[in-house]
Amino acid sequence: MSQDIEINVEEEISSLIYEGKKIQAIKAYRNATFKGLKESKEYVDRLSMELYEKNPARFTVAPTKSAGCGTAIFSLGLIGLAYWFFM
């Protein structure tokens, strides 16, 4: 857990994560720490996995690791290349 935020804010973020409200958790972290979107998302992803390992039964939706922007851009590049090659 992070020392950048107060305990009540961390509890709020944890509660949002347990409910499957990842975007709201990221917003809450950003509002509490004034960090960027990437750092906030990484924090919430890391916290999600930690919480899931400790208590998976509390989750309404199991957390997943996001692929990230690099993977999406690479995938789009492959699709474009395949389109160009076969057309």
Q: Average pLDDT, stretch 46-70?
A: 81
Q: Are 47 and 6 in contact (CB under 8 A)?
A: no
Count of all residues that appear for the chain in the document: 87
CA 47 to chain centre: 9
This prediction has a pTM of 0.67
DSSP structure class, residue 6: -
Q: Average pLDDT, stretch 19-36?
A: 94
pLDDT above 60: residue 8:
yes
pLDDT band for position 79 (cuts 50, 70, 90): confident
Amino acid at 46: R
Helices (H), the chain: 7-18, 22-33, 37-54, 69-86
pLDDT band for position 39 (cuts 50, 70, 90): very high
